[in-house]
């Protein structure tokens, strides 16, 4: 197993969160959030982390042209890119929804420009 050393370069690539599913619900003002995190080691010193979130939230804004949706959930407010499969026409600001979204992060560690294995 290779360990990090001072001087190693750690490259982190964060992909914007993607809203996969949104369904109107009657939440009675209660918000909740369930997080699931998985990390997968890839080849040559690279690892991928997926953070899946299921949340009861309120829609704060919708930018239909750019397919961006801002949600206020139990612990924070996030702006997400809506999946092309998600119809935004059924949603409006103020709706309470159950939403599923993912955030992805890729990390690569290199030493002297060479990926660690």
For 17-32, the pLDDT digits (tens) are 788 888 888 866 656 6
The answer to the question of residue 4 being in a domain is no
DSSP character string of 9-77: EEEEEEEEEEEEEEEE---TT--EEEEEEEEEE-STTEEEEEEEEEEEEEEEEEETTTTEEEEE-SS-E
The boundaries of the domain holding residue 75 are 9-115
Q: Give the residue carrying structure tokens 């309120």.
A: 58
Residue 3 belongs to some domain of the structure: no
- Give the list of residues 6+ apart from residue 70 with CB closer than 8 angstroms, or none: 59, 60, 61, 62, 77, 78, 79, 80
Q: Structural domain tally of the chain?
A: 1
Paired tokens of 25: 């619900």
Structural domain contains residue 2: no
Nearest alpha-carbon partner for 81 in 4, 14, 18 = 18
pLDDT tens, 38-63?
776 666 666 777 788 888 899 999 99
- What confidence tens digit (pLDDT) does each residue in 71-114 have? 998 788 989 999 999 999 989 999 999 999 888 777 777 776 66
Q: Give the number of C-alpha atoms closer than 13 A to the C-alpha of residue 99, restricted to the C-beta side.
A: 32
In a domain, 18, yes or no: yes
With respect to residue 52, please indicate whether it lies within any of the assigned structural domains.
yes
């Amino acid at each position: 197993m290779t360990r990090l050393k001072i001087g190693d370069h750690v490259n982190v690539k964060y992909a914007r969160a993607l809203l996969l599913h949104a369904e109107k619900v009657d939440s009675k003002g209660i918000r909740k959030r369930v997080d699931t995190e998985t990390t997968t080691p890839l080849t040559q010193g690279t690892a991928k982390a997926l953070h899946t979130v299921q949340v009861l939230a309120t829609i704060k804004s919708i930018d239909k042209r750019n397919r961006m949706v801002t949600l206020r959930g139990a612990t924070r407010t996030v702006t997400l890119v809506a999946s092309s499969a998600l119809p935004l026409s059924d949603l409006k600001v103020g709706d309470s929804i159950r939403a599923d979204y993912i955030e992805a992060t890729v990390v690569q560690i290199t030493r002297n420009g060479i990926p660690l294995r």
